[in-house]
Amino acid sequence: MILPGELQSQKVRRLFWLLFSLTVLTIVGMQITGQTLITEAAPAGIVTFELVGTLSGSQSILDSWQGPAMTWAGINMGLDFLFLFLYASTIALACLILSDKMATNLGVLKILGKWLAVGILIAAGLDIIENISLILLLTGSESEFLPQLARWCAIPKFALVLLSLLYIIAGGLIDMMKKYDLAKGTH
């Protein structure tokens, strides 16, 4: 367990870089396994499947994945289960580390980082529901509800991930500027 006072420790930084490396490695694996999933019916591959929202759209995508592509879709979905734990842990930890580094006069940003760390865990929960919905469709379910459920889990998931990544970029820039000011002796 990481306590708030330990967020700037070497141990936490090593953990972050390990999680980051594993996340990137999983992204590479998903890109490789997802190549055969890019079809006319699914121009963005698995992401198209996540967002299509209708049974007829899902069926068109699945029809375009017949044969070996269906196996790759299953492998890609399996990697996505690993990925959701990795990205959620990595992004949440980055938000907490950066929030902890924020100056006291940036209190709103400190609080936002903590909320986004929780938000990314909610995104991972939505990703689990989305993945289960998609796996049920991959294995033959004809429920009209599943593509809609996947879509309505994917949209807020992507929004929370995007907001969290924007926070990390902004927080990283603020931290770099702070270090630059200290190095120049202007602070």
Least trusted range by pLDDT, from 4-8, 11-15, 81-85, 176-180: 4-8
Residue 103 pLDDT level (bands cut at 50, 70, 90)? confident
Residue 70 has pLDDT above 80, yes or no: yes
Residue 130 has pLDDT above 80, yes or no: yes
Residue range 175-180: mean pLDDT, rounded:
78
Query: pLDDT for 108-123, tens place per residue?
Result: 888 999 999 999 999 9
Please, are residues 95 and 120 in contact by the beta-carbon 8 Å criterion? yes
Closest CA to 28 of 71, 70, 104, 86: 86
